[in-house]
Structure 1
Amino acid sequence: MTSTSTPPGLARFNTLEEHAARTALHEACASTAWARRLLAARPYATVEDLYAASDAATAELTAPDLDEAMAGHPPIGRPKPGDPTSAREQRGMAGASDELKAEMLELNLAYQERFGHVFLICATGRTGEQMRDAVKERIGNTPEREREIVRTELGKINRIRLARLVEED
């Protein structure tokens, strides 16, 4: 059962000029390869088709593509100044105690030293304590296991950001 009408936000995305669509996708995910795959598959009949394309593109990211995607994410607890997306997604750290913020900074640095990249987690809806517990749990992973968790978390983040992109009018 497919709907005969495309949701307005998705229709707008489908008809964006390529440069504008690429820019919008880059704001969702910093991977050039991911954006290129999503652009190439336009137009999308449904939002689920867009999500499926995103999931497939995320699954196929090479190690350098994944690095490029992660480079677009600030450390947890330190959203980029003037970046409402990071601030909104990391809202769980906004009201955290100074102690928790300091602990998160230490954990972020230890994680980055161990794995060579930012700690990536789908922070939407998580408390500061939940994010701290996740980094503590994941820091013991093998680099290979952690890359797959990062890929999964990136996929969740991409879906949330795409939803905002096609739902906004």
Structure 2
Amino acid sequence: MTNRPHALDALAAADAADLTAILLEICSSPRWATTVAAARPWPDREALLAANEAAMATLTTEDLRDAMAGHARIGTPMAGDATAEREQAGIRRADGALLDALHEANAAYEAKFGHAFLICATGRTAATMLAALRERHPNDAATETEITRGELRRINDIRINRLLDGS
């Protein structure tokens, strides 16, 4: 018998509505949540993470926009959003000039791509996020879509692991 953490068992046993609500907290794309839910039961953590990866690979541009809608703009996590505040902890000690540069770069990115810049911010400083934003700004839309897809997958992996670890 596989050693399964209690949280994974509870998640796999959740009724459809509860499971959907939990999954939408991880990723706000309904298609992603439906696809991950359809992959249960997950025999272990790796299978759930693989379901995340497989679901991310199937998302259309519109589905990706749904997924991005669940994320705070880099540099401006919403007050009271513990997840965004935790994920963007690297901006807390940034000075005003760096935050201003981040906001300006965000605006330029949004004007070009039509959506907010998305990056897995966990463990990154404001300076490294700004550097990544500037590095990605010259990309074409197709390249940026695939980079964003990968960043969303990494964020989902972190959120799934936190859920399973009870943290």
Given the two structures, how large is their TM-score scaled by the length of structure 1? 0.95
Dislocated runs of 4+, deviation >4 Å: none
C-alpha distance in 1 between matches for 2:39 and 2:148 = 24
Counterpart check, 1:90 vs 2:88 = yes
Structure 1 portions without partners, runs of 5+: none
Shift of 1:72: 1.1
Partner of residue 79, structure 1: 77
Structure 2 portions without partners, runs of 5+: none
Partner of residue 40, structure 2: 42
Partner of residue 120, structure 1: 118
- Higher RCO (C-alpha under 8 Å, 6+ residues apart): 1
Counterpart check, 1:61 vs 2:62 = no
Partner of residue 156, structure 1: 154
C-alpha distance in 2 between matches for 1:15 and 1:82 = 30
Shift of 1:76: 0.4
C-alpha distance in 2 between matches for 1:49 and 1:134 = 30
Identity of aligned residues (%): 44
C-alpha distance in 2 between matches for 1:83 and 1:19 = 23
* CA-to-aligned-CA distance 1:56-85 (integer Å, 9 cap, x gap): 000110111011111111110111221100
Shift of 1:163: 0.7
Q: Is 4-13 or 115-124 further displaced after alignment?
A: 4-13
Partner of residue 143, structure 2: 145
Given the two structures, how large is their TM-score scaled by the length of structure 2? 0.96
